[in-house]
Amino acid sequence: MPTSGILKNTITVEDPSLKKRHSIISGRSDFWSSSDEDEGVQPHEKAIAAGQPNPPYCVRNVEQHAFGRREIEIAEQEMPGIMALRARAKEDKPLKEAKIVGCTHINAQTAVLIETLAALGATVRWAACNIYSTQNEVAAALAHAGFAIFAWRGESEEAFWWCIDQCCTPTASWQPNMILDDGGDATHLMLKKHPTAFKQIKGIVEESVTGVHRLYQLSKAGKLCVPAMNVNDSVTKTKFDNLYSCRESIIDALKRSTDIMFGGKQAVVCGYGEVGKGCCQALKALGSVVYVTEIDPICALQAAMDGFRVVKLTEVIRQVDVVITATGNKGVVTREHMERMKNGCIVCNMGHSNTEIDVHALRTPDLLWERVRSQVDHIIWPNDKRIVLLAEGRLANLCCSSLPSFVVSVTAATQALALIELYNAPQHRYKADVYLLPKKMDEYVASLHLPTFDAHLTELTDEQAKYLGLNKVGPFKPNYYRY
């Protein structure tokens, strides 16, 4: 594990351009963090101004590390699967000499994964995949523990790419050989900017719909020269994180940010994949009238048989109180749709990318943006009509709420096993293509979490196993089985 960093003394200086006081870390010039909570101040600017091309980390305020450490410890108690994996594999060090570029949401749950990977022998450099989802105190705790973390809440677009590049750029002491991605940004930056180093990567693990789609595009174009593991479509990701996590976190996000009561409200959920299913279940359980939009007739039929009206967005846009996108697509909610929304309509996105809601079309001189809370904007029309936009169209549950740690434990264990599999696989087991996680590993991840519920699995007899044509210890379902 990395050794702990050493806190530096602080000096206070006057910044005349901002007319407020800031605390700046003094001491060694390669130790960068900022304690200014103003999102307009970007911590990496100090490193750049000081001519430090490769700082050991860059976070908002490293002095928040004690608070962040408590957050991580709380998450550990509710993440039994990844903690069990850490305990079982730490002696074997299956990731020894692995150098992992990480680009995911940085929160307490991710911190548990990062520290698990380190316990299994890996060295990591980590950036955020979303400019608003980072928990600053958690990033501080990881940096204080010696991890190379480059992230803070409220990154500018330029800072976002600077942080990822700090993880991807090879140096004399850092030659990455694995990528753990959420959305594909680290993969694409490294492929575009560091193509020679990219060819040395042993494997990529991707956990989002958007990132997987980009991987398949690379593969089809013949540009994917390393093997990749699609964990988004593994059963333990799709059926647990996408469904159960979103079922709980969508309500948390909306209530924390808007104080809305759901009983009797009308909501439309765009997309009835696993994320959309979870959102619809939660809204329906609280008494909302729920509509669904879909392009896929199979998903549409599922929605109809689950009791939801399947409609075109234009049919209900004037009457609904909440609009939630969960498609992984672009341009799902347009300016034209928002022009027709009722006063006070809440608009948010549960898909990975911020392309589902056309937020750019709202940044025009005729509309007024009013920030009313963190991650909550009122967009005001000339006639005083306003809509409520969450997280500027980015992931609402990660930007406006906390995630259920237990479900994230399932995903984290899946990611860790995928990294272990690709890193230790014989040279010719995987070609330069996109693969699903082996079924046996999906079942292993599930088994790690069953003791929490005091769940006891039934074991097949020899006769039963022979009758079904199965190994007694699994896998128990064929790859084509739909759970």
Q: Known binder of ligand: residue 242?
A: no
276 is in an annotated binding site: yes
Q: Cα–Cα distance between 76 and 92 in angstroms, integer?
A: 21
The response to whether 274 counts as a known ligand-binding position is yes
Query: 273 a known binding residue?
Result: yes
**Residue 263 known to bind ligand:** no
Would the annotation count 278 as a binding residue?
A: yes
Residue 294 sits at the vertex; the CA angle it makes with 292 and 297, to the nearest 5 degrees, is 120
Domains within the chain, CATH numbers bracketed: 44-233+404-441 (3.40.50.1480), 243-394 (3.40.50.720)
Query: For every one of its 483 residues, what pLDDT tens digit does the chain have, with 9 covering 90 and above?
Result: 444 333 333 223 333 333 332 222 222 333 445 544 445 679 998 888 877 778 999 999 999 999 999 999 999 999 999 999 999 999 999 999 999 999 999 999 999 999 999 999 999 999 999 998 899 999 999 999 999 999 999 999 999 999 999 999 999 999 999 999 999 999 999 999 999 999 999 999 999 888 999 999 999 999 999 999 999 888 888 888 889 989 999 999 999 999 999 999 999 999 999 999 999 999 999 999 999 999 999 999 999 999 999 999 999 999 999 999 999 899 999 999 999 999 999 999 998 778 999 999 999 999 999 999 989 999 999 999 999 999 999 988 877 777 889 999 999 999 999 999 999 999 889 999 999 988 999 999 999 999 999 999 999 999 999 999 999 999 999 888 888
Integer angstrom CA distances of residue 277 from 168, 262, 269, 310? 36, 17, 9, 13
Burial of 21 (0-12, 13-18, 19+ CB in 10 A): exposed
Q: For residue 306, how far is the Cα from the chain centroid?
A: 28
Rounded to 10 deg, the angle between the 297-305 and 274-285 helix axes is: 20
Using the structure block, give the residue that is written with the tokens 């990881």. Answer: 142
Is 294 annotated as a binding-site member? yes
Length of the chain: 483
Chain position carrying tokens 């940096």 = 143
